[in-house]
A and B are shown apart, each in its own frame.
Chain A
Amino acid sequence: MNYSKEEIVTNNKMKEYKEFLEKHELTYEETDYALGLYDNNKLIGCCSLTGNCIKLLAIDETYQGQGLTNTLVGHMLKKVYMSGRMNAFIFTKPEKEFEFNKLGFYTIVKTDDVLFLEKRSEGISSYLKTLEKYRVEKEKTASIVMNLNPFTLGHKSLIEKASKENNHVHVFIVKEDKSVFPYNIRLELLKKGTEEFDNVTIHEGSDYIVSSATFPTYFIKSKDEIPKIYARIDALVFAKYISKALNISKRYVGSEPLSKTTNMYNNTLKEVLGEEGIEVIQIERSESKGRVISASYVRNYIREGRLEDAFNLLPETTIDFLKSDTGKEIIKKIEVMSENQRH
């Protein structure tokens, strides 16, 4: 057995790669790095990586049983470890559980559609230990998960409402680098924008707060169901682990009258968290001059050069940032974005 490993980039190998994936019932998805395994120029296996998430693994039927999965996954693990991260994750079909458990991956949660695994056996338990330091033993403890691209008056009023109605509020920010406002800036603006609330704890993003922007969907056949499928896995990690570590009994979400996806997500969240005894409270979006406040409107206004309109939807802290040099750079970035680049 002597097969060659080759990175698949946008070149003449791409067509063969996409067909190979299709044959294995996987949908091509752009990744940071894609590796092909070749037997005399014929593609016989592949695997991809985005951040520390392993994806799109497939081996040609006739080459199975030679430990090629190990070769490909091992290659990806090495890349992850060399980047200084000590854990790797996989989202895949539930029927793959036995195979990946044998490869040394541990199941975090499993639904009818998705299996979520990690490499470290103590991965999520050590994360929960760091969370437990912020546990507050009070009856009314609520939580909000937010992306904040960027932090608006709408986000602020949602946090304020939760802060008033509860003894304590844990706010989680989604960690991903697909948003035009980078993670560290989103976090900074959240911290600055919520300084006045003394019963609010800000939690840095983690691999266990799954982002809808980076949730892999390559193995899902019914694409229409994706928001629901994503919501189920996200809600289950939250209910089974995070809410228990922090004694959380309520979760606040903002409504999104204009987005079917958000509605589908919120409804599924209610269903799954409800079963686990966590109440989901949906708050109507705050409005400014008759229009709901939404981060995507803010980005639209910026793109159209209507800064004043954007500022009307933002707290002082975010406005101050946008006036800074780094802020101006982001404004420039948004201005050259096309309308269909949503993030």
Chain B
Amino acid sequence: MKITKTAVVGNVESNDLMIIVNPGEGLTLNIESSVYEQFGSSIEAIIREELANAEVSDAHIQVEDKGAFDFTIRARVKTAIRRAQ
């Protein structure tokens, strides 16, 4: 899937996250999280899995997480990718 425009999805409120998808060459993923120490790697794994499922190979992705659950993360990533097409 090709990312052609900017999409911003979600909120910076507790139990949610904001994801910003921008067009770019190669895949860059930057995660900031209030629970990064405990869950940073698992958040990253979930996001990478969703990106792979959607076959996104070129994009700049910024995530600001406030302790979102896995299913929230998946939903936000899916929506953001769809909106950025």
List residues of A whose CB falls within 8 A of some B CB.
Answer: 67, 70-71, 73-74, 77-78, 81-82, 84, 86, 103-104, 121-122
A-B contact pairs, 20 of them (CB 8 A): A67-B14, A70-B14, A71-B11, A71-B13, A73-B12, A74-B11, A74-B12, A77-B12, A77-B18, A77-B64, A78-B8, A81-B20, A81-B62, A82-B8, A84-B6, A84-B22, A86-B22, A104-B12, A104-B32, A122-B30
Distance in Å: Cβ of A41 to nearest Cβ of chain B: 24
List residues of B whose CB falls within 8 A of some A CB.
Answer: 6, 8, 11-14, 18, 20, 22, 30, 32, 34, 62, 64, 66
Is the Cβ of B20 less than 8 Å from the Cβ of A74? Answer: no
**CB closest residue in chain A, given B30:** A122
Residues of B contacting A70 in the complex (Cβ-Cβ under 8 angstroms): 11-14, 66
Is the Cβ of B6 less than 8 Å from the Cβ of A81? Answer: yes
Distance in Å: Cβ of B70 to nearest Cβ of chain A: 21
**Complex alpha-carbon distance, A70 and B32, angstroms:** 16
Residues of A contacting B6 in the complex (Cβ-Cβ under 8 angstroms): 81-82, 84
Q: A74-B18, A121-B32 are in contact. Are A104 and B11 (CB under 8 A)?
A: no
Residues of A contacting B20 in the complex (Cβ-Cβ under 8 angstroms): 81, 86
**Complex alpha-carbon distance, A104 and B14, angstroms:** 12
**CB closest residue in chain B, given A106:** B32
Q: Would you list the 9 A-B pairs with minimal beta carbon distance, nearest first?
A: A74-B12, A81-B8, A70-B13, A81-B20, A78-B8, A74-B11, A82-B8, A67-B13, A70-B12
Distance in Å: Cβ of B83 to nearest Cβ of chain A: 11
Max count, chain B CB within 10 A of own CB: residue among A73, A77, A103: A77
**Complex alpha-carbon distance, A122 and B62, angstroms:** 12
Residues of A contacting B12 in the complex (Cβ-Cβ under 8 angstroms): 70, 73-74, 77, 103-104
Is the Cβ of A86 less than 8 Å from the Cβ of B62? Answer: yes
**CB closest residue in chain B, given A78:** B8
* Additional A-B contacts beyond A70-B13, A81-B8 (14; CB < 8 A): A70-B12, A70-B14, A70-B66, A71-B13, A77-B8, A81-B6, A81-B18, A82-B8, A84-B6, A84-B22, A86-B62, A103-B12, A104-B64, A121-B32
**Complex alpha-carbon distance, A84 and B22, angstroms:** 8
**Complex alpha-carbon distance, A122 and B20, angstroms:** 16
Distance in Å: Cβ of A45 to nearest Cβ of chain B: 14
